[in-house]
Amino acid sequence: MPDTIIIDGLSFSLPLFVMAVGGIFSEKSGITNLALEGFQGFGAFTGAFAAVYLYGVFGADSVIPYWASFVFAVIGGGVFALLHALLCVRFKADQVISGVVMNILAMALTSFLTKRINASIFGNSGNKFMLSASSRITIPGLSELPVVGAVFRDIYPFELVIVAVALVMWLVLYRTVYGMRLRACGDNPQSADAAGINVYAVRTVAVFVSGCLSGLAGMSFAYSVSAQFSPDIYLGYGYLSIAALIFGNWSILPALFACLVFGFARSTGAAVIHGLGLPSSYNDLVRTLPYVLTLLLLVFFGRRNRSPRALGQIYDKGMR
Amino acid sequence: MRKFTLSCLAIGISLIFGALILWLMGKNPGEAYMSILQGAGLMEKARYSGRQSMFTDFMSLVDAMTPMIFASLAVALALKGGFFNIGVSGQMLFAGFCAHMAAQFLPSRIVVVIVGFVAGAVVGALIGWLKSRFNVNEVVSSIMLNSILMYVITFYIYTFYINPVSRNSVSVPAAARLTLSGFRWEGMKVDIALAFPAAVITAVLLHWFINKTTYGYEIKAVGLSPRAAHYAGMNVGRTAVITMTLSGALAGLAGVAYYCGYLAAIQPGVTPSMGFDAIAVSLLGGNNPLGCVLASFLITVISKGSVYMSSRQNIELEIASLITALILTFAACSAVLDRRRGK
Amino acid sequence: MAEPIVEFRHITKKFPGIVANDDVSFTVNKGEIFAVLGENGAGKSTLVSALFGMYEPDGGEILVRGKPERITSPRYAGTLGIGMVHQHFRLVSNYTVAENIVLGLEPVRKVCGIPFVDMKKANRDVAALSERYGLKVSPTDVTGDLSVAAMQRVEILKMLYREAEILIFDEPTAVLTPQEIDAFLQTVKTLRDSGKTIILITHKLREIKAVADRCAIMARGKLVSILDVKTASTDEMARLMVGHDISFTTEKAPAKFGEVVLDVDGLTVKNVAGYDAVKGVSFQVHAGEVFAVAGVSGNGQNELADSIAGLAKVSGGTVTLSGHDITNATVREHITAGVAYIPEDRHNVGLVLDFTLRGNFPLRLYDSPKYSRGSIINYREYNEQSARLQEEYDIRSSQGGETIVREMSGGNQQKAIIAREIDMKTPLIIFMQPTRGLDAGAVMNVRKYIIAERDRGAAVLLISLDLDEILDCADTIGVIYSGKMSKIAPASELTAEVIGEYMMGVGKTA
C-alpha cells in the first residue's frame, strides 16, 4: 500500500508542480495568471489531437505519437497563452478578468474543436480523444530499495521529463540573465525599465513559458488521470497549482513541497479510504485539504506571504 | 451610453466572428442565427411537437435566464465596491445545497429563498471579512472557497443525497421548487420561472440602491478610492464587508434559482460555470444592474437557442459556448478601451 | 581651462497652466560640483529631468560635451554617460545590492550558450567599486532591508557601475539624517575628485556652501543668478532664492482674533513607516487667525494635517477644538465637530476621481440630513449645491455637474475641493498646499478664499511649502523642521530670511 501512495502521489504532484512553475514565471514577471486551468486544457487538447492523428500514421503502439503529443501540448499551451499575454500586456486588460475569460474560452474552444475534429477527420461523433495507455518505467536497482524504492517504480515517462524541465526552469529563473530581469519586472517594472529592460517583452515571454509548462502538465494529466482528452480535463487542477504556488510563496522549491504535500495527501487519503473500505466519495473530503491549508496559511501567515510587489499592476511606460 | 456602445461593439464583432466560423463550416450563418432565435422562442419555428409552441420556448428561456440575472448582479455589485467576486460559483453551489437541505424539512418556496439568501451572504461575508481583517486577496480566497465548498458538497451528495439513476442529487420537493415545470396552460406544457419577476425587481432595486442611497454612495466611493472614502468619514472595512455580504446574498439567490428552479437537482463534482460566465455577463452589461438584465438575456438566448440550431443545422452544440466566450473576450478588451478613454 | 560638459541653452518647458522653465541657460563644467538651488516649484527638477531624458523641452537645446543632443529617454541619457539618483529610489526591493547594481548590464558566463549571471563576478565588481569610491555596501545584503542612506549608496553605485560621468542628484539629502548628510557630502567630494561631474538639486544652503563649486539659483522657472559659492554669502543666496519681488499681494484687513478654536498640545504622530514624524508639537489657532506652518517638504507637515483632520492616528498629546477633545476621534466625528480639510493629495484623497463633479461636492457631508433623508440621497440638494458652487467659485468643466472629475483640469479640481470645504462653514479649516500646481490667477483666488475664511471668523491652518504664500496670508507663522515647531511668531516679526534659516534647521532655537 505505501507503494501506491508514493507512485500515485508522485504522478499527480509532478504535473501540478510543473504547472505551478509556469505560474511562478508569469506571476514573478508581474502578470496574474488565473488562466493556468485554460492553458493546461488547451495544451492537452493539442497534444491529444496530435497523438490521435499520429496513431493513424505510426500506429497506436509507436512511441512517436506519445512523445509528439507532449511536444504539441507544450506548443499549444504556449500559443494559447500568448492570447493572455496579448490582452494583459498589449491591451492592458485587467489580468484577473483576462484570466477568467481565457479559461472560459479554452473550455469552449477545445470542446467545440474536439467534436468538430472527431466529426470531420476521424469520422465519429465523440467529444473526446482516446489515448493509448502510457508505458511505465521501473529503474532497475534503485527500485529494489526498501520503501523509497517505490519512487523509482512504475514511473510515467513524463515524470522524468518534468523533473528535468523543472530543474532547467529553476536555473533559468534564479541563475540566468533572463530570470533576473523577469523577477525585477514583477517587483519594480519602473526600475527594470530604467535599467534598459523591455518590460513588455519579458512579461510576454514569461506568460508564454507558463503556457508551455501548463501544456506539459495538461498532457500529463490526460495520460495519468484518464488516458483521454475530454472536457473532464477542466477539473480545477489549474486552480490547485495556483494554490500551490501561493502556498510556496512564489518560489519554486517551496512550491514543489506544496505540490508533494497536496499530491501525497490525495494519494494517502485515497489509500486510507480504500483500506477502511469506505466509499470512494470520501476522497472528495481529502481533496479539500490543499485549499483549506492554503487558506489557513494566508490567514495566519499572510503577512509573511509576499506576492511579487507589482503583481497584477498594469505597466504603462508613459506613466510615471 | 459609452459603455453600451462598446458592449454592442463586442457583441457585433463576436457575431461576425461566429458567422465566419459557421461559413467556414459550410453553413449558412443567416439561417443558423435565425434558428438560434427560433430556439430561444423569439421567432416562430416551422413546426412544434405536441404541447410546445413559441411561447413555451420563450418561457424556458426566461427560466434559464433567471439565475443568470442574479449571478451577474452579484458580480456587478461587488465590482462597484472594488471586489472581484470570482466566488459567485461557489456561493451559488453552497446556497443551492443549503436550500436543498432546508427543503427536506420544510418544503416551502419561501424557506428555500431565505436559506439561499443567507447561505450566500455568509460565504460573501467571510470573503469580505478575510479581506478587511487579514488582507487576504478576495480572488485567492474565493478560488479556495469554491473548491472547498464544491468538494464537501460533492462528498455529501454522493454519500447521503444521491439519485442513483441520474447520478445527480435528489430532486428538490416540488413544493419548494421555484420553477413550475411542465405547467399545463391552454394545452401547452410551460415552465414558469416564479423567480423571474423577483430577478427583474431585484435588478431595479439594486440600481436604485446603488444610485440613490447613501449606502450605494459609500460602496462606490470605497470601491473607486478607499483613501478618499476614508477622508469622507466612511468606515472602509465595514463597507467592504457589507458589499461582499450583499454580493454573496445575490449569488445565493442565483444558486437557489438555478438548483431549485431551473434545475431541480445538484450535479456533483463541478462548480456551476454560470458563476464564471456571470463575471463576463456583468462586464458586458457595463456593471450596471439593468445592463446585466439585458446581457443575461442575450447570453441566454445564445446558449438556449443554439440547442435548436445544433439539431436543426447539424452544428456542434459547443458553438454556443464558443460564441459566448468570444463575446466575453471582446468585452474584456472593450473594457480596456473604455478605461483608456477615461484617462 | 574650465571644460564645459553640459550646456543648457534657452530651455523652456511648459505644463498646462504653468511655465516650469522659462528660457534657462547655463553651462556645467567637467569635474565640478554644480548646485541648482531654488524653492519647491522653482523648476529645478524639471530642468534636470530634461537632461536625463524624462521630459523633452518645448524650446531650447541641450549640449553634452559640445554636441547638441535630443535626449529622448533615460536609456539614451545612460549612453551619454548621464546618471541620476531620483528622490524616490528605483530599486528592486527583494534583490541583493549587487543584483540591483548590475541589473540590465549583468556580467555573463555562458554555459552551453545559455547566459548565466556571473554573480561571483558581480559581487566582486561591486565590492571593488564600493571600495574605490568609499561607498560602504555589502554586495549580498537584501536591498529592501537597507537604511535609506545605504539605498542611496546603491543608487550611486548603480550609476558608477554604468561608468556615468555626469551624476545628477535630485534632493539627495531630503530623507537623510544630519550624520548621513555629512557622509553623503563627503562622497560627493570624492566623486568630484575622481573626475566626475556632479549636478546637485537642492534647497539647502548649508550643503551648497559645504561642497558646491558653483550654483545656479532659480525662482519661478527662471534663472536668477549664477554664483561662485566660495565668494557668495549664505544670506545673499537665500535672498536671491526667495526673491525680492513678491508678486502676489492679497488685500488684507488687520486680523481680529477671537477665542482659541484649535489647541494642539504636545502632538506626536507616527508616519506609515512607524517613526515619529511629528514630535511634541504645540500651538493654538484663534478664530479669525491664519496660522501658517512653513517648512521644507517631508518635515512632518502631512502627518500634522492628517492627524488634526482625524485621518491619522495620534500617538501622543491632544487636539482640542473649541474646548472639545477630538484627539483620535473618527473622521466623521471631526467633520461633525467642524473641521474642514483641503488635503495635499487631491487625486487620491480629496476627490473620488471617477465620480461626477456633482457627486464629489457632498463627499464629506453625504450622510448629513441636508444631503440625505433616511439614507435616500436628496438629489435636489445635490443639484442645487452643484450649480451654486460652480457659479460661485467659477469651476469650469465640459459637462457641468455631470463631468467626471478625472477629466477636469487640476486647477478646477482644486477649486472644487476648496469650494466644498469652505461650503461646510466650519470653525476650523485646514489648507494643505492649496496652490500647488495652480496657475497665477488661480493662486490669487485661493489666497483670497483663505483670507475670506479668516474674515468670516474661522480659524485657518495653512500648511505650505511656498514661503510667498505664507508671508502673504499668515497672521502667525510656525516653522516646522524635522517634526518640531522650531519657531512660532507673529508674521509681522519675521522676514523671509529668518524663516528660511529655521526651515533649513540653521536658525537659532527660540
Partner-chain contact A192 C116, CB within 8 Å: no
Please give the pLDDT value at position C347: 87
Domain A2-301 has CATH 3.40.50: no
pLDDT along chain B (343 residues), means of 10: 78 87 87 90 83 89 96 96 94 97 94 97 97 89 94 95 92 92 84 94 97 95 94 95 98 97 93 90 90 94 88 83 85 62 36
Secondary element (H or E) of residue C321: strand C314-321
Q: If pLDDT is split at 50, 70 and 90, which confidence band does C510 have?
A: very low
Which DSSP string do the residues of A198-264 spell out, in sequence order? -HHHHHHHHHHHHHHHHHHHHHHHIIIIISEESGGG-SSHHHHHHHHHHHTTT-HHHHHHHHHHHHH
Classified as helix, coil or strand, C452 is helix
> Which cell numbers in the block locate residue C224?
536668477
Q: Which residue, chain included where needed, has cell 505650505? A: C464
The average pLDDT across C168-173 equals 88
Look at residue C417 and give its three-state secondary structure. Answer: helix
Q: Distance between CA atoms of C97 and C84, rounded to whole angstroms?
A: 17
Q: Which residues of A touch C78 (CB under 8 A)?
A: 196
Mean pLDDT of chain C: 88
Verify whether the Cβ–Cβ distance C349 to B232 is below 8 Å: no
Cα C453 from Cα C445, distance rounded (Å): 12
Residue B45, chain C, CB below 8 Å: the answer is no
Among A68, A65, A44, A47, which Cα is nearest to A56's? A65
Mapping DSSP to helix (H, G, I), strand (E, B) and coil, where does residue B289 land? helix
- Which three cell numbers mark C114? 545559455
DSSP bridge pairs for C15: C18
Chains with at least 3 CB pairs less than 8 angstroms from chain B: A, C
Which pLDDT score is estimated for B147? Answer: 94
Q: Per-residue DSSP letters for C356-374?
A: BHHHHTTTTTTTSTTTEET
Residue C235 has pLDDT above 70, yes or no: yes
| H or E element in which residue C288 lies | none
Q: What ipTM score was computed for the predicted complex, to two decimals?
A: 0.89
What span, in angstroms and rounded, lies between the C-alpha atoms of B207 and B216? 9
The answer to whether A288 faces chain B, any CB pair under 8 Å, is yes
Q: Which domains does chain B have, with CATH numbers?
A: 50-300 (1.10.3470)
Is C116 within 8 Å of A176 when comparing Cβ atoms? yes
What pLDDT was estimated at residue C75? 82
- Of A141 and C174, the structure prediction assigns the larger pLDDT to A141
Which pLDDT does position C475 carry in this prediction? 94
Q: ∠ at Cα A318 (A317, B4), nearest 5°?
A: 100
Residues of A in contact with C143 (CB under 8 A): none
**Among candidates C8, C155, C176, which has minimal Cα distance to C92?**
C155
* DSSP codes, C112-172: TTEEEE-HHHHHHHHHHHHHHHT----TTSBGGGS-HHHHHHHHHHHHHHTT-SEEEEEST
Taking CA atoms, B182 is separated from B59, B60, B171, B188, B300, in Å, by 11, 10, 15, 8, 20
Given a cut of 90, whether residue C127 has pLDDT beyond it is yes
Q: Decide if domain C4-242 falls under CATH 3.40.50.300.
A: yes
Once rounded to an integer, what is the mean pLDDT over residues C376-386?
94
Q: Is C479 helix (H, G, I), strand (E, B) or coil?
A: strand
DSSP B321-333: HHHHHHHHHHHHH
User: How far apart (Å, rounded) are the C-alpha atoms in residues C464 and C499?
Assistant: 13
Record: contact C376-B213, CB cut-off 8 A:
yes
DSSP state of A89: I
pLDDT tens sequence across C22-65 = 899 999 999 999 999 887 667 888 888 889 888 888 999 999 99
Task: Write out pLDDT tens, residues A185-215.
Answer: 999 998 888 888 889 999 999 999 999 999 9
Residue of C nearest to A191 (CA): C90
Q: What percent of chain C has pLDDT over 70?
A: 94
Query: Does residue B14 or residue C284 have the better pLDDT?
Result: C284
The pLDDT of residue A314 is above 50: yes
Alpha-carbon gap, residue C412 to B16, rounded angstroms: 44
Task: Report the interhelical angle of A237-247 vs A199-221 (nearest 10°).
Answer: 120
User: What is the structure's pLDDT at C247?
Assistant: 47
DSSP H helices, B258-318, are: 274-284, 289-313
Yes or no, beta carbons of A187 and C117 under 8 Å apart: no
What's the average model confidence in pLDDT over A282-309?
85
How many interchain CB pairs under 8 A, A with B? 135
Predicted confidence band at C423 (pLDDT cuts at 50, 70, 90)?
Answer: very high
Identify the DSSP state of A152.
G
Can you give the pTM of this predicted structure? 0.86
Nearest CA to B123 out of B153, B155, B102 is that of B153
Task: Residue window 205-264, chain B: list those with CB within 8 Å of chain C.
Answer: 212-215, 217-218, 220-221, 224-225, 227-234
- C190 within 8 A of C133, measured Cβ to Cβ: yes
**A-interface mutation test, from B85, B137, B279, most A Cβ less than 10 A away:** B137
- Whether the CB-CB separation of B293 and B69 falls below 8 Å is answered with yes
Q: Which of C313, C334, C352 to mutate to test the interface with B (most CBs of B within 10 A)?
A: C352
User: Could you state, in order of their start, the residue ranges of all structural domains in chain C?
Assistant: 4-242, 248-338+428-510, 354-425
Contact C116 A309 (CB under 8 A): no
DSSP state letter for A279 = -
Asked whether C212 and C169 are in contact (CB, 8 A), the reply is: no
**A132: alpha, beta or left, given left = phi > 0 and alpha = psi -120 to 50?**
beta
Rounded CA-CA distance C388/C390 in Å is: 6
pLDDT at C245 over 50: no
Quote the cell numbers at residue A24.
511562478
* Contact list, A309 vs chain C (CB under 8 Å): 93-94
pLDDT at res. C246:
42
Rounded to whole angstroms, the Cα distance separating C197 from C125 reads: 22
Q: Which of A165, A98, A161, A168 is nearest to A134 (CA)?
A: A161
* Alpha carbons B110 and B116: distance in angstroms, whole number: 10
Q: Which of A23, A30, A15, A11 has its CA nearest to residue A246?
A: A23
Angle ∠(A113,B272,B282) on CA atoms, nearest 5: 90
Q: For residue C374, which amino acid is it?
A: G
Three-state DSSP at C50 gives helix
Type of residue at B329: T
Residue A50: predicted pLDDT: 95
Set of cell numbers at residue A116: 468538430
C332 burial (CB, 10 Å; 0-12 / 13-18 / 19+) is: middle
Cα–Cα distances in Å, from A52 out to A40, A69, A79, A220?
Answer: 18, 9, 20, 15
CB-based contact A260:A13 (threshold 8 Å): yes
Predicted pLDDT of residue A297:
87
Q: What is the dihedral of CA B38, B39, B45, B46, to 10 degrees?
A: 120
CA distance C218 to C204: 13
Least confident segment among A278-287, B254-263, C342-351: A278-287
Side-chain half-sphere CA neighbours of C125 within 13 A? 21
Dihedral of the CA atoms C192, C198, C202, C206 (nearest 10)?
A: 20
Instruction: Identify the three-state secondary structure at position C222.
Output: strand
Confidence of residue C243 (pLDDT cuts 50, 70, 90): low
What does CATH list as the number for C248-338+428-510?
3.40.50.300
Q: Is A182 helix (H, G, I), strand (E, B) or coil?
A: helix
